[in-house]
Structure 1
Amino acid sequence: MLEFIVNSINSLGYVGIAFLMALENIIPPIPSELIMPLAGFAVTQGKLNLISVIIAGTIGSVAGAIPWYFLGKYWGLKRTKAIADKYGKWLSVSGADVEQAKNWFDRRGYIATAIGRLIPGIRTYISIPAGISKMSLLPFLAYSTAGSVVWVSLLTYAGYILGENYELVGTYLKPISILVAIAVISLVIYWVIKRKKHHI
């Protein structure tokens, strides 16, 4: 994986960065926590320009979010509710719950989209409820870009500061990612238990 990322950045430069970040959003196992710090390290070697790296990374990040947005739009509320009614019983999730979540996103969708782009594990999939809620494309792109600029800038600057030790960025972020994942899972479990008690 690392060799592929290094070769892409070395051979394609800014286009390679944009390509990798788009791929990272479509195929989440490719880590932005490695791509952008490596690009930041390349800046310290004089191979790339810091601002251009951030722009390329942001373009790729937003481009990779767009397919998920259109997938959510394609599924739509009706189909998602039908899937929840058919397969969501083991989590006590119904079509009504999906509609309630959609209404919540309608009220907070813009800020949720921007903040979601900063959270590992969520940043890719936040585009789906945006599509389901039929958020207009331009606001979606604007808020996705805002969140992506912050995320990409932080990772790039971290790689710039750490230099040859750019790989440590992923090490430092891993505990944070785990805590976020635990928090999200805990909230889901709490919500499921609460719903089951309500139906008893």
Structure 2
Amino acid sequence: MIEFIFNILKELGWIGLAIGVAVEALSIPFPAAVFVLAYGYILNPSWTQILLFSIITSLIYVVVSFVPYYVSVRYESIVRKKLPKHKVHFAQKWIDRYGEWMIAVGRFIGMGYITYIAGLSRMNKWKFAGLTFAGFYPLSVIMFYLGNLGNLEVMVDRLQQVQWAIYTVLGIGLAAYISFRFYRRKKYKNGKQEDKSSWQASAD
């Protein structure tokens, strides 16, 4: 099966790679990183070619990413209804806390919907392009390199493990942050109640 897929990709050449990258850039759930990995195996690039190919694929990714970006700007009310609220809340929390660089992080770990968040936030288009490029370029370099090593089945499995590890760390971090905020809010309310009780006692 894998050999059959490789034959198809070889026939498609760069068109196949561009399509694979573009589909994910449209914020459709699709493993663009695996496509780059496969072409790293097919093309067997040198390090210079890896860096050059990564620039090309990243530019394709950036250009196509503006489709969902402008969709979210033009049809904000519809996009807000369609996007899962928990995803919007999750992404917005991390952007508010760690800044707009989370757009790049989101691209690196495959959070396709992060483009819609950028559009809804009315992020500057040049900043959006730069952060999208910054997120996908290192991933592209890594995937071309790993594909070049040859053992794709192992590499795909490791990629999935790394992504799950990142999601786990982010989830733990978010849970810790929410717990901390809840603890502070509860402590603040208890403090206000104690102050109120003390004031009433002194008034009596």
The answer (yes or no) to whether the contact 2:18–2:60 under 8 Å persists in 1 is yes
- Aligned residue for 2:108, secondary structure, equals coil
- Aligned residue for 2:113, secondary structure, equals coil
CA RMSD of aligned residues (A): 4.0
Mapped partners of 2:5, 2:59: distance in 1: 17
The one-character-per-residue Cα deviations of 1:164-194 (angstroms, maximum 9, x if unpaired) are x123221112222112222333344455666
- Aligned residue for 1:167, secondary structure, equals helix
Output aligned runs, 1:30-109, within 5 Å.
30-44=30-44, 50-51=50-51, 53-74=53-74, 76=76, 80=80, 101=93, 104=96, 108-109=99-100
Output aligned runs, 1:105-120, within 5 Å.
108-109=99-100, 111-120=101-110
The answer (yes or no) to whether the contact 2:40–2:146 under 8 Å persists in 1 is yes
Which residue of structure 1 lines up, in the alignment, with residue 13 of structure 2? 13
The one-character-per-residue Cα deviations of 1:141-182 (angstroms, maximum 9, x if unpaired) are 12211221111111011111x22x123221112222112222
The answer (yes or no) to whether the contact 2:72–2:116 under 8 Å persists in 1 is yes
Mapped partners of 1:58, 1:4: distance in 2: 27
| CA radius of gyration, larger in | 2
Length-normalised TM-score, structure 2: 0.67
| Aligned amino acid, residue 115 of structure 1 | V
The answer (yes or no) to whether the contact 2:33–2:140 under 8 Å persists in 1 is no
Shift of the 103–141 alpha-carbon distance from structure 1 to 2, 3 Å rule, reads closer
| Aligned amino acid, residue 133 of structure 2 | T
Shift of the 103–11 alpha-carbon distance from structure 1 to 2, 3 Å rule, reads closer
Mapped partners of 2:94, 2:165: distance in 1: 26
- How many residues align? The count is 182
- Aligned residue for 1:117, secondary structure, equals helix
Q: What 5-or-longer segments of structure 1 have no aligned partner?
A: none
Mapped partners of 1:112, 1:27: distance in 2: 16
Shift of the 50–102 alpha-carbon distance from structure 1 to 2, 3 Å rule, reads closer
The answer (yes or no) to whether the contact 2:25–2:65 under 8 Å persists in 1 is yes
The answer (yes or no) to whether the contact 1:33–1:169 under 8 Å persists in 2 is no
Query: Following TM superposition, by how much is the alpha carbon of 1:195 offset from its aligned partner in structure 2, in angstroms?
Result: 6.6
The answer (yes or no) to whether the contact 1:37–1:167 under 8 Å persists in 2 is no
